[in-house]
Amino acid sequence: MLQARLAAAQDAWPSKPIKMILSQPAGSGPDNVARLLGDGLGHALGQPLVIDNKPGGQNLIGAQSAARAPADGYTLYFATTAALVTNSYLFKTLPYDPLKDFVPVAFVANSPFAVLVRADSNIASLPDLVAQSQRDPGKLSIANEGPRTFGGMIARLINARAKAQANLVSYSSVGVALQDIIGGHAQAVVADLASSSQLAKQGRLRVLAVTSSKRVPGWEQVPTAAEYLPGVEMTGWMAVVAPTGTAATTVTRLNAEINRLLALPANAEKILAVGPIPSPGGSPKDFEAFLLEEHKRLAQIVGEIGLLPE
């Protein structure tokens, strides 16, 4: 009888509102994408999808809350690279297991990073930046959000791979770092393209390279860092996962609906306007394989740049 009731409950899913937890605050890039996706999912599933922002603690608060939620299909986690991969190599211990506590649902979008300089800078390319850093060791500064952030790791990887000798300067936020570049207080910055693209479009910053494996739509004239430094590929991303134990039928339906929404041209345009690049079409198994590869790659990069967990 119990099994029959459980099966009936799963067949009736969803019969009440669904909650999607985020580790970022309202108004952030991930929040904007999650709300767009949530509106579409709510209509498709016939139940409201409520965004629950739990920022802070380098994603630990939101991730832990989602990991401990019941695996009944009514709690999802809108995760980023930091929560599911990077944190594993930054902390000696975590209050959740990124691989064991979640089941992959759907990949949502890539969020490339970029190396930028002031628009009137005499640095015209990534090779120029490296060459200048080598001519005057420690004089050229690259702003970033700190060694334990994605931007900071990219800056350190460029230094390591190119044998550059740039001074890496940490800032409290990407916004402050970008303003310091414009003000001439640092020569370059590593920032996510979503945060920096408007300043580039306004002619205040110049994009030297993007850190994705391929050139970015709308920025095809900008080379990838890997075209000059093979293997320098670090792209942030967003995805939906659920607590481990969530019914396979629920995961399959969510995956199909998310992929359908991401493939709609109107939704894709809205996401691109925020910055990330939507990536529909993958299955939960595809996402699972991707996660395992990301862990292998990050482990190698963290070892190369000498970043130790704390």
Rounded to whole angstroms, what are the CA distances from 60 to 15, 66, 192? 29, 10, 21
Count how many residues are written for the chain: 310
pTM of the model: 0.87
The closest of 144, 127, 148, 225 to 180, measured between CA atoms, is: 144
Structurally, what CATH architecture does the domain formed by 2-110+235-305 represent?
A: 3-Layer(aba) Sandwich (3.40)
> What residues have CB less than 8 Å from 283, skipping those under 6 apart?
255
Can 2-110+235-305 and 112-227 be said to share one CATH topology? yes
> What residues have CB less than 8 Å from 230, skipping those under 6 apart?
none
Determine the pLDDT at residue 10.
53
Chain position carrying tokens 């980023």: 80
Q: What is the CATH number of domain 112-227?
A: 3.40.190.10
Amino acid at 89: Y
Rounded Cα–Cα distance for residues 224 and 210 (Å): 5
Rounded Cα–Cα distance for residues 306 and 160 (Å): 10
Q: Which residues of the chain have pLDDT under 50?
A: 1-2, 4, 6
The closest of 115, 215, 216, 192 to 156, measured between CA atoms, is: 115
Structure tokens at 23: 């580790």
Determine the pLDDT at residue 132.
95
Determine the pLDDT at residue 11.
61
Average pLDDT of every residue of the chain:
92
- In SS3 terms, the chain reads as CHHHHHHHHHHCCCCCCEEEEECCCCCCHHHHHHHHHHHHHHHHHCCCEEEEECCCHHHHHHHHHHHCCCCCCCEEEEEEHHHHHHHHHHCCCCCCCCCCCEEEEEEEEEEEEEEEEECCCCCCCHHHHHHHHHHCCCCCEEEECCCCCHHHHHHHHHHHHHCCCCEEEECCCHHHHHHHHHCCCCCEEEEEHHHHHHHHHCCCEEEEEECCCCCCCCCCCCCEHHHCCCCCCCEEEEEEEEECCCCHHHHHHHHHHHHHHHHCHHHHHHHHHHCCEECCCCCHHHHHHHHHHHHHHHHHHHHHHCCCCC
Query: For the chain, which residues make up each domain, given as ranges?
Result: 2-110+235-305, 112-227
Return the bridge partners of 50, or none: 19
Summarize pLDDT for 7-38 with one digit per residue, the tens: 555 568 999 999 999 999 998 889 999 999 99
Rounded Cα–Cα distance for residues 125 and 5 (Å): 63
Determine the pLDDT at residue 140.
94
